[in-house]
Structure 1
């Protein structure tokens, strides 16, 4: 006779599309989602329309109680969560720091899914920094949360290759697929008490600091390889851009052309069907796709056909 699966009573904390993939897996499992913590509704980037988080949208679809505190520093903001009598809290890209009383409120504690191979890239932007630094691998790590940032004992880890054309968006999709397939296995191991936690090596810890919009401005005094990684790392947010004639032009795609010729840094060397070639500290950055404020993404060549006063050969793009 097959043994009946024992359901866990779960509180889920998450905000993004990455989080929503894990939540959907849990909702469709035999486990019970008692409630959800997600960040408050905020204006979107287009039209400034107040928008629900992807996690809240999914929670609403399945009629799961949702809590959206602006902070967790006061007990009144999370008292309802403590009264749910959950077995465990699962945290995936939530965005707020949990107070100590929540970390210790549930019999099985709080576990966190983090998008890096801890102890590498603790913090807010692990995928972006892994791409930016030219790393060949990333992955997901599931940890038992403690009072420090992403420093808890490792319960599970799985790696994923970073391909030459990967962006933060594409890697998030890969990692959400990997993690959402194994989260149920990890919960089963926790239930059966047959998981062996691994202590992180603090000497190997690196930190992925939070990104800002200002970090997206391209500096051609960097080499082309770094800038190309930057374009992929900052897609979709905060994005990368150049400024010409007081216009902020977003860069969506570029590649590297190796060249020993030396032009002025930031000089537009050539514009053709392949893109716009700009001299960097080392090699040429060939910008292929751009976006003008308020317009759709377009190839540089298409744009240059009707806007040849903005992009001109030998023009220097100032930093």
Structure 2
């Protein structure tokens, strides 16, 4: 088939690389977000998808929008059988969805209808889901509402962060995509509508919601730490400054102290009371420094977590 590929970040580039390596189809054009300023010098940076496309000599389109007639005419000029969309970042109008012969298919990083939206990988860890996966979906005008052509599932490990789960799904997604494209008419004819009763939404992440709330149970906060790693990173406020939390684990406690109380701080970790048990922070990052073990952090910073101190959080200060 003739394929137009639309995507932007590394996750999308992995899918484009798989299509090119497979060689069963012809990628006739690549759509990606316009170059953005990045780095200290704020120089324009091409997306991972654009860089890969240029390496393979593919036509690259970077419209600001696909809503105007000229952009749609340009897309139609490629005479694509299908448009493959992976983390593109632009809304596709209904008119665009009808341009390719077989429409547009999307690779979504969740087991739809669970976790429609922008941050499915992070939300699945945060919620304590036992499994994650990818869904190949026929796109409709709504947000991730289209019928599902194929789903592939994997378990979420007890130590998975968003980064590690992202990497696993980046391997699983291209396999599912190639399987779907190998017999696309068959998958389209057997597509399953999503059960609206099972829909959940994966809202965008924010730095504010990554602040650890000591009124929550320890198991929830441990998932919080893994879900927000590597961005925006779970964090807590101390009298000395804001600290990012990279790794943590739960520990049984008698819950006699108020939530947020520092119970211990030594080479084994910083132990803080939660709503039920304790959270042990084993790796953290002070302002302007790299992530380090609790032992390294406390060497010269022991007063940041004095025994008995109650961490109140920014909303209470």
Q: TM-score range by the shorter chain?
A: over 0.9
1:151-170 per-position Cα deviation (integer Å, ceiling 9, x unaligned): 11111111110111111111
SS at match of 2:231: coil
Q: Which residue of 1 aligns with 2:123?
A: 129
Q: Which residue of 1 aligns with 2:108?
A: 114
2:150 counterpart of 1:156 = yes
Deviates more, 1:38-47 or 1:303-312: 38-47
**Alignment of structure 1 residues 1-319 onto 2, 5 Å:** 8-30=1-23, 31-44=25-38, 48-191=42-185, 196-245=190-239, 247-319=241-313
Structure 1: distance between partners of 2:144 and 2:68 = 22
Cα drift, residue 49 of structure 1: 4.8
Structure 1: distance between partners of 2:305 and 2:188 = 62
1:56-105 per-position Cα deviation (integer Å, ceiling 9, x unaligned): 22112212222223333333445422221111100111122111111000
Q: Which residue of 2 aligns with 1:4?
A: none
Contact 1:119 1:201 in 2 (8 A): yes
Give the aligned length: 312
SS at match of 1:287: strand
Deviates more, 1:102-111 or 1:88-97: 88-97
Contact 1:224 1:285 in 2 (8 A): yes
Structure 1's 231 and 221: CA in aligned 2 closer, same or farther, altered over 3 A?
same
Contact 1:125 1:211 in 2 (8 A): yes
Structure 2: distance between partners of 1:16 and 1:268 = 40
SS at match of 2:154: strand
Specify every segment of 5 or more residues in structure 1 that has no aligned partner in the other structure, as ranges. Answer: 1-7
What is the RMSD of the two structures over their aligned residues, measured on CA atoms?
1.9
Cα drift, residue 40 of structure 1: 2.4
TM-score w.r.t. structure 2 length? 0.92
Contact 1:251 1:291 in 2 (8 A): yes
TM-score w.r.t. structure 1 length? 0.92
Structure 1's 79 and 252: CA in aligned 2 closer, same or farther, altered over 3 A?
farther
Structure 2: distance between partners of 1:50 and 1:235 = 26
SS at match of 1:256: strand
